[in-house]
Each structure stands twice: as structure tokens, then as C-alpha cells.
């Protein structure tokens, strides 16, 4: 375990309290992505955005991570994860404050791009800090718990903004988010501080994640999960609405609630890995389950209860698979001090895939050719299994 300096008995480095505080930063960062969804109608009404521009507003949060996450992750390894999280939380305060005063769509979109720097800092620094401060016996479980920040944060963002959507105070969710980040700025002082690497190690680690086969393969594997999971999320509301004669809004709300099933999926994966399951075996079983479940998930004519059961099983498998990948991250880095670079690489490739995924999934949605969805899940699952790094092939 990397050398670290204590921050008092309450938040001893590597303790579950310390891990829990780090987890909160991930949750609130993920909320930054989803909080815009409930208020897109208000943005269109008050700022004059078209339907195409509203889609761009949602996507712009991923622009900076898609371009800079891996390089920024290497830089974070040099300045320290705690410092990076302090800067990212400060950006969270500044951008949410700016949203309250944006009077034009262009200004709103510019702030949305800057807001993406929160993800660059937190998504790289937080898992790196967990890896650097937890003992090996706890590290895998801690990373599995960390992996659940996405569904939790996504739901938190929807609730923060949804409470104010459609009213005169539609920006109230941004004020609430600002207050949370304002509390997280001083809370950074409670985070463990990891001893900085040597000058030689800093220079060697700048592009370390790109030159090691383990982190690169794991990042590509994770991008395949994003391809399947994000793709399903983009088409399922409209597909479910078509099949069961409900509104897209109702289907979206249902999907948002079932999305939380990913949390017990991640925790179950952490439990299984803690009991001695081989990560590659567990991951391949989960990918097989995802392919099998994708048939009743998309097949027309399925009853509502059966499709809901398939959707529950899908989210459970997705949550567990993401946890398995995240838990493998400490095992594929050649040096624990390069954790942020590896996590940044995962973040960058995932952000890139989010731009490509709708282009692959939307044509099948518009044509109604549901077997295409299953083929995409199958291709992504097979590729993910082939890419998942074996312990024997981790770069040294």
C-alpha cells in the first residue's frame, strides 16, 4: 500500500469512512451528467434551444473527458489525488453558480463543457486514492463499492433537478448541487494525502496507462460495457413505450428506478470476488447472462412482467460486470502511484464511446429490427471477454 499521511482517527486512510467520503465525490460528479435531463424542456423554453441542441447540451459534459481524461489522469498522479479532487469540487461550485446566471444558450453550453472538468478530476483521482490507501485485502471490495457511484449519482441528479423542473425556479437543482459541492470543498481536507512520487516516476508515468497492456485492455473492455449499457439506455425508453403503450416519460421514469438495481449487482460482485471467485470467470459468466437476457429484453410481444424481469436481470448483470472491471483496476497497474492515469484512460475511452454508441443503436430503433440490438450486445460482450486482462498478462 502506498505511503499516506493520516487525517485523524475518524477518517483513517483506507477505512470505510474514508472510502465512503471519496464515494460521495463520485456520486455528485455523476449527478452532474444527469441533472440536465429533467430540465431540457425548460432550457428549450427559456433559452430557445432546438431538439438537436438539447441533445448536444446533454453530450457536452463528456467532451472534455473524451479529449483529456487519460493525460489529465497522468497529471493527477503527479500533483496528488486529494489536490485534484479539491480543484474538481471547486469547479463544481463555480459551474453551478454560473448556471444560475446564464441568460443565453451559448453561455449555458459553454458552462456545460467546463463542467466536464469535474469528471476529469474525480473519475481519475477518486479511484486512484482508494487504490493507493486501502490494504490489498480490502482493495477489491472497495473498488466494487466505488463502481456503484454511476447509478446512484444518475438518480441523485434526476431528483435534484426533477424537483424544480417545469416551474419558475427550474434552476433550483443547480443551486442544490452548488451547495453540496460547497460542502465537499472543505471536506477535501479530511481525505487521505498520498506521498507524491519521485521526479523520475513522475516523468515515466505521464503516458504510463497507454504503454501498459493491462490498463489499456481493461479500458477497452470497459468501453464495450459502455457500448452495451449506454446503448440500451438510449433506446429502451422509446422501445418500451412502443411495446407497452405508455409514454416515453413514463418509460424513462421506470428505467431510472430500475437503474438502481445496478447497485446490488455491484455489491454482489464485490462479495463474490472477496470470496475468491476469479474475476475473469465471473466477468464471462455475467457477459453470457447479458446476451441471454437481451433477447426477452428486446423481443416484441413479451408481456410487461416478463420484460420487467429481463430489465431487472440486465441491470443486475451490468452493475456486477462494471464492478468486476473496476475491481480489476488495482491489479493491472504496474505501480499504485499510476492509478489516476489508468482510471483516466477508462474515463476517456468510455467518453469517446458515448459519442459513437447512439449512431450504432438508433438505426435499429427507427427500423424496428430488434435482432440488431441483440447482435450489438453479443458483439460487445464477446469483445469485452476477449479484452478482459488475465492476471498472467498484466504489464510489469
Q: What is the DSSP string of 16-75?
A: HHHHHHHHHHHHHHHHHHHTTGGGHHHHHHHH---HHHHHHHHHGGGHHHHHHHHHHHHH
pLDDT at 89 over 80: yes
Average pLDDT of the segment spanning 342-361: 76
Average of pLDDT values for 72-100? 89
More confident residue, 355 or 361: 361
Residues 172 and 295 in one domain: no
Looking up residue 225, the CATH number of its domain turns out to be 1.20.1250.20
Residues 310 and 172 in one domain: no
CB-based contact 321:109 (threshold 8 Å): no
C-alpha cell at 158: 434526476
**Residue 60's pLDDT is what?**
84
Structural domain boundaries enclosing 80: 9-191
Position 101 scores a pLDDT of 94
Answer yes or no: do 40 and 154 share one domain: yes
User: Where do the DSSP E strands lie in the chain?
Assistant: 4-5, 193-194
Whether 268 is in a domain gets the answer yes
Arithmetic mean of pLDDT, 319-323: 90
Query: Cβ distance 74 to 208 under 8 Å?
Result: yes
Q: With 80 as the cut, is the pLDDT of residue 130 above it?
A: yes
Cβ atoms 70, 209 nearer than 8 A: yes
Q: Give residue 391's pLDDT.
A: 57
Give domain status of residue 196, yes or no.
no
Listed ranges 4-13, 263-272, 346-355; the one with the highest mean pLDDT: 263-272
Domain co-membership, 256 together with 350: yes
Q: How confident is the model at residue 34 (pLDDT cuts 50, 70, 90)?
A: confident
Over residues 100-116, the pLDDT tens digits come to 999 999 999 999 999 99
Say what the pTM is.
Answer: 0.75
Query: How high is the pLDDT of residue 339?
Result: 61
Region of poorest pLDDT, from 210-214, 254-258, 368-372: 210-214
* Count of domains for the chain: 2
Model confidence at 291, pLDDT cuts 50, 70, 90, reads: very high
The reply to whether 61 and 167 lie within a common domain is yes
393 falls in which pLDDT band (50, 70, 90)?
very low
For residues 150 and 16, membership in a common domain is answered with yes
185 and 319 both lie in a single domain: no
Tell me: pLDDT of 309 over 90. yes
Q: Which of 164, 191, 218 is where one domain is finished?
A: 191
pLDDT over 70 for what percent of the chain? 87
**Is 35 a domain residue?**
yes
In a domain, 1, yes or no: no
pLDDT of residue 314 exceeding 80, the answer is yes
Close Cβ partners of 373 (under 8 Å, ≥ 6 residues apart): 231, 232, 235, 294, 297, 298, 361, 364
* 130 and 77 co-located in one domain: yes
**Per-residue pLDDT tens for 151-200?**
788 778 878 887 787 788 889 999 999 999 999 999 999 998 876 555 44
Residues 166 and 216 occupy one common structural domain: no
Separation between Cα atoms, residue 245 and residue 394, nearest integer Å: 49
Task: Count other Cβ atoms within 10 Å, centred on residue 378.
Answer: 15
Compute the mean pLDDT over every residue in the chain, rounded to the nearest whole number: 82
What would the pLDDT profile of 36-68 be if each residue is shown by its tens digit?
877 878 888 899 888 778 777 877 888 888 787
Judge if 222 and 291 occupy the same domain: yes
Q: Is residue 3 part of a domain?
A: no
Residue at 214 is within a domain:
yes
Do 261 and 157 share a structural domain?
Answer: no
> Do 103 and 230 reside in the same domain of the chain?
no
Nearest residue to 259 (alpha-carbon basis) of 289, 229, 215, 216 = 229
Whether 200 is covered by a domain: the verdict is no
Q: Is residue 332 part of a domain?
A: yes
Q: Which pLDDT does position 336 carry in this prediction? A: 55
Give the domain-ending residue among 162, 191, 220: 191
pLDDT of residue 2: 45
The set of cell numbers assigned to 286 is 455475467
Amino acid at each position: 500500500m502506498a505511503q499516506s499521511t493520516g487525517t485523524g482517527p475518524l477518517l483513517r486512510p483506507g477505512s470505510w469512512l474514508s472510502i465512503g467520503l471519496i464515494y460521495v465525490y463520485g456520486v455528485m460528479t455523476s449527478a452532474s451528467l444527469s441533472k440536465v435531463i429533467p430540465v431540457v424542456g425548460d432550457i428549450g423554453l427559456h433559452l430557445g434551444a432546438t431538439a438537436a441542441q438539447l441533445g448536444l447540451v446533454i453530450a457536452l459534459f463528456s467532451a472534455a473527458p473524451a479529449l483529456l481524461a487519460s493525460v489529465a489522469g497522468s497529471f493527477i498522479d503527479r500533483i496528488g489525488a486529494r489536490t485534484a479532487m479539491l480543484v474538481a469540487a471547486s469547479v463544481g461550485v463555480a459551474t453551478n453558480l454560473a448556471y444560475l446566471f446564464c441568460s443565453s444558450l451559448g453561455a449555458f453550453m459553454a458552462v456545460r463543457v467546463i463542467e466536464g472538468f469535474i469528471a476529469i478530476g474525480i473519475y481519475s483521482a477518486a479511484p486512484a486514492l482508494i487504490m493507493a490507501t486501502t490494504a490489498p485485502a480490502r482493495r477489491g471490495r472497495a473498488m466494487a463499492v466505488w463502481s456503484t457511484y454511476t447509478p446512484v449519482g444518475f438518480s441523485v441528479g434526476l431528483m435534484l433537478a426533477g424537483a424544480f423542473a417545469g416551474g419558475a425556479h427550474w434552476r433550483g437543482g443547480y443551486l442544490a448541487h452548488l451547495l453540496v459541492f460547497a460542502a465537499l470543498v472543505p471536506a477535501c481536507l479530511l481525505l487521505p494525502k498520498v506521498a507524491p512520487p519521485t521526479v523520475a516516476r513522475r516523468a515515466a508515468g505521464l503516458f504510463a496507462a497507454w504503454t501498459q497492456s493491462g490498463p489499456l485492455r481493461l479500458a477497452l473492455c470497459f468501453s464495450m460495457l459502455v457500448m452495451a449499457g449506454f446503448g440500451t439506455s438510449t433506446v429502451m425508453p422509446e422501445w418500451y413505450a412502443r411495446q407497452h403503450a405508455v409514454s416515453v416519460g413514463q418509460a424513462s421514469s421506470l428505467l431510472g428506478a430500475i437503474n438502481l438495481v445496478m447497485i446490488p449487482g455491484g455489491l454482489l460482485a464485490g462479495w463474490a470476488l472477496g470470496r475468491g471467485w476469479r474475476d475473469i470467470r465471473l466477468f464471462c459468466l455475467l457477459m453470457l447472462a447479458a446476451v441471454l437476457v437481451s433477447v426477452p429484453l428486446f423481443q416484441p410481444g413479451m408481456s410487461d412482467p416478463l420484460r420487467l424481469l429481463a430489465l431487472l436481470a440486465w441491470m443486475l448483470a451490468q452493475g456486477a460486470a462494471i464492478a468486476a472491471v473496476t475491481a480489476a483496476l488495482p491489479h493491472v497497474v504496474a505501480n499504485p502511484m499510476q492509478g489516476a492515469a489508468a482510471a483516466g484512460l477508462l474515463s476517456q475511452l468510455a467518453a469517446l464511446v458515448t459519442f459513437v454508441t447512439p449512431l450504432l443503436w438508433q438505426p435499429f430503433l427507427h427500423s424496428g429490427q430488434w435482432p440488431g440490438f441483440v447482435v450489438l450486445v453479443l458483439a460487445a460482450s464477446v469483445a469485452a471477454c476477449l479484452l478482459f486482462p488475465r492476471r498472467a498478462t498484466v504489464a510489469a
